[in-house]
Amino acid sequence: MIGVAVKIERQAELRKWAEDLPDEFHKRTSLLVGSYALRIEKEAKRQAPVATNILRSSIHTDISRRGQQTRAKVGTDVHYAPYLEYGTGLYGPERRAYEIKPKTKKALAFTARAGTQLATGRALFRSKTGRLILNRKRGTKTVVRRVIHPGIHPQPYLHPPFDRLVPFFMNDLRQIVTALGR
């Protein structure tokens, strides 16, 4: 599952400190964690790129509570989610174009639009002789042995809501601690 995680340093000290707090603190922080997780889910769904609505409808929140600890996970199990969040090829973590070859046939066949860079309207193909071909026509039937694909730009939908809401969460948590006199 792609998701966002928060790592808390000095957890042992924090747990010891939290054990001495009244039950009211744990109730309020549990509600706070759940409400912010649902807000992140809502914003992630709003920002998710939509082609078939599968990604958007798969974003979910799991809230669990064990003892005095509340944990919330916001994410998706859709296999292509990380590629949309972080990008691929030149625009992804590896920062390089990649080659696409046929798995079961001798060649790839598609219209030029399938391999077209959206920004330029052009596609780069490798011909049977190995020469690179620049195809300027959209909708042209193309048959090639392999394609050098530049990748897709990142379309982050999960990290931006998280990054935007964490400062508000921390402020609300501070207010709970202050209100309880700690």
CB within 8 Å of 63: residues ≥ 6 apart: 33, 34, 37, 70, 71, 72
Distances, alpha carbon 20 to alpha carbons 3, 13, 107, in Å: 31, 11, 67
Each residue's pLDDT, cut to its tens digit, for the chain (182 residues) gives 666 666 667 777 767 777 777 888 888 989 999 999 999 999 999 999 988 899 999 999 999 988 878 889 999 999 999 999 999 999 999 899 988 899 999 988 877 554 444 344 455 555 566 665 555 555 667 788 888 888 999 999 999 999 999 999 999 988 988 887 65
pLDDT given for residue 121 in this prediction:
43
The per-residue pLDDT for 117 is 47
Q: So what's the pLDDT on residue 4?
A: 60
Q: How deeply is 64 buried, as exposed, middle or buried, from its count of CB atoms within 10 A (0-12, 13-18, 19+)?
A: exposed
Query: pTM for this one?
Result: 0.74
